[in-house]
Structure 1
Amino acid sequence: MKNMKILTTTVLCLLLSFFMGTTAMAESITSPDGQLKLDFSVNTQGEPVYELFYKGKEVIKPSKLGLELKNDPGLMGGFACIDAKTSTFDETWEPVWGEVKSIRNHYNEMAVTLNQKAQNRNIIIRFRLYNDGLGFRYEFPQQENLNYFVIKEEHSQFAMTGDHTAFWIPGDYDTQEYDYTESKLTEIRGLMKGAITDNASQTSFSPTGVQTSLQMKTADGLYINLHEAALVDYSCMHLNLDDKNLIFESWLTPDAMGDKGYMQTPCQSPWRTVIVSDDARDILASKLTLNLNEPCAYQDVSWIKPVKYIGVWWEMITGKSSWAYTDDVYSVKLGLTDYSKTRPNGRHAANNDKVKRYIDFAARHGFDQVLIEGWNEGWEDWFG
C-alpha cells in the first residue's frame, strides 16, 4: 500500500511583491521523464494561471484557476505567490483488484501557497506531474479568515490549443446514460439537442456543457483526457465550453439550493486531471486516476473477493424494453399488487425466458452473479 514517503524535497522561498501590478515569475516542474512541463504564475490581476506542454508542444494554453464563493469576495484574484515547494515521489503499491498486480506512483510535485492580501487568507494549489499527465487541486488550510465557506462555482479552466475532435456526452446533473457523440469542439452547440435522448431523469445545464471524462484528439494526433479523481465531500465536476475561445471551465453539480459545496477548513477539492499521450492506448492504460485517489483504508483486504456479474439493464434504458411489467401503472401499489392478476405489457426486459438465458450464459462463462435490474415481485416465487 502507499506509504507516502517523500524522497526529495526542495523548498523555493519566493520573495514576491504584494502589489498586483507586478507579474510573478513563472514556476515550473517537469514530469519524471521530462516529456511534460507545467508553468505556473500569478498574472497582473493576481489570478493563478497554469500552462501545460507535452514534448515541447502546448497542450493547455494559459488557464486561470479560482473559486467563486457565496456571500464572500471569493478566491478568484488578488493573490500573490508567497511560497512554492517542489518534491519528488516514487513508490510501487498493490491494488485490491484490477488489471495489474502492482502500480507505480511516480511524480514530481509543486505546492504553491497564495496569499490574498485584502482578505488576509491563504490557499494552496498543488500540482502533480506524472509521465502520463497532470493532477492539480485546491487546498484550504485552517485559518481565522477562512473557516466555513460555501462554493458558488469553481472556475478551473482548460484552454484548448485548437478545435479538437471530442468524444462527448451532454452535461447532465442526473444521468450519464447517453450515447457518445464525436465532433469538433465548435460543433457541440449545434449537436447538443440531438445528443440529449429521452431518459427517465434529465437536467442538462448548458448548450455546450459536457461530462467528464472528456476524450479529445488534436489535429496532429495528440490525445487529451479531462477528468477528476478523489471526489470526496465535494460536487461532481462537469465542463462548460466557451466555444468561441475554446476554453473549458469546471461546472459543479448544485444541490437543491443552488449551492455547490459546503466546506470547513482544513479541506481540499478533488484532483482535476489532464492525461496526455500521442498513443490512444496510453489513455486507457493510465493509472493516474488511481494514483491520485487516497490509499485503501483497510489494512487487511484478504476478505475482498472480486466477482463477475451479468444483468438485464441496458435495453430498458435505451427504450427497447419497458421498465414496467404492466402498463396499468395507476393500479399498482408496491407490496400489495398481485402481479399474477395484472395484465403484462409484454415489453418488460426481465422476463422469465430472457433471465433463464442470462443465467445459462453466466453459468457457461464463469460469472458469479446475475443482476436483474428493474425487478419486481412477479418473479420472486420463481427464483425462491
Structure 2
Amino acid sequence: MADLTTPIEILHPPILKFGPGTVAEIGAFAAKRGFGRTLVVADAFNGARVDLLALPGAVVVFDRVTAEPTITDLAAALAVAADFAPDLVVGFGGGSAMDLAKLVAVLWTGEQTLHEVVGPDRVAPRRTALAQVATTAGTGSEMGIRALVTDPETAAKLAVQSAEMLADLAVVDPDLTLTVPARITAETGVDALAHCAEAYTNIKAHPLIDVYALSGIRLIGRFLPRAVADGADREARAGLALASLQGGICLGPVNTHAGHAVAYPLGTRHHMPHGAANAVIFPHVLAYNAPARPERTAEILAALGLEPSSDPQTVYERAWGWCRSLGIEMRLSARGLGEGDLAPMATDAAAIRRLLDNNPRPIGEAEILAIYRAAF
C-alpha cells in the first residue's frame, strides 16, 4: 500500500452539484454556456422524464441504453449524435448511461474509433461539452474518467480511460433515486460498497483515498438497509448518493481489484446487471483477501455495523448474511447459471489483469473458479 510520501492525483468534475433539487442545474448550466443542441443519453425510463433537465434549445434523446451496453449500442448512439451534431452531451441515468455518454462525447465526430481509444490516455481533445446526472446510487460514474462497453463477440469489456471524458458538470440529486425499486437499490448499493472496499484493500490504497473509502462504507452500512426498507426515506437516499459519489472518487487514482474482475463475466456472458454481479461476488472476495488485509477487513465489517473479524470464514458469513438481509439473491444457481458456465467465466476473469494485479492477494483462474463454485 502507498503511504503519505506517495504522490497521487485526483481528477474530478470542475463543477459538482449535490443535493435534492439540483437536477435543475443542468438547464441553467446549458443556458449560461450558450448550448442550444443537447443530446441526452438515457435508458427508456429516464428518457421519458427528460423534461426534469429543463434544457434550452433543441434536445434529442437517445433512450435505448441497456443494463450492459455493447459496442452495437454505442454505434447506434454515435449515429444519432453524428446526425444531430450536439454541442452538449448529457448522461442521464445509471452507470451504463453515463459511460455511454462519455464515449459519445469524445467519439461522435468520427475522428477516432472505439478500438483506437481503448486503454489509458488515447482520446483526442474533446470539443463537445459533457454533463452527467446520476439517477442511481451505485457506480459513481459521474465522477470518473473511465467508460466500459461490452464486445459481444469476445464477451469482454473494453475499458477506455481519459481525462477527456471527465464531465464539465456532475449532478447528484438524491431525489432522482426515490423511484428506484428495493432490489435495484440493494444491488447498486453493494456495488458502491464494493468500490469503496476494493479501494480500501487495494495494493494501491492511499491515505488520501482511504478517507473517502471508509466514509462511503459507513454511509452504506447506515443508510442502505433504510433505503431498501423505505424507498421514500430521503435522508437514506441522500446518504447512499453521497456514498456512491465517494466510491466514484476512489475509482480514479486507486480503482477496484479482483472483486470487479470476477463480477465482470457475469455481465458480459450472462447479462447480469453490474450491481447484482458485484453483490453476489462481494462477500467471497472480501473473505478471500482477509488474510492479506486483516485489519482493514475487520474495519470494513465494523463500518457496516457488523462484529469485526479477519477470519475468512467468519468474514464471508457476516458479509454474505448482510447482503442477503437486503433481499439480494446471492446464489448463481438461482440466477439462471449452470455449473458448466463457471469454468469459461473463470478463464475470462483471469485475463483481466488490469484489475487482478491490484488485488492484495495473488489470484488466478483456479482461485476464481473456486469463488464461482462457492457462489453457485
Q: Bin the TM-score by the shorter chain.
A: under 0.3
> What TM-score results when the alignment is normalised by the length of structure 1?
0.26
> What TM-score results when the alignment is normalised by the length of structure 2?
0.26
Structure with higher strand content: 1
Q: Which has the higher relative contact order, 1 or 2, with Cα contacts under 8 A spaced 6 or more apart? A: 2
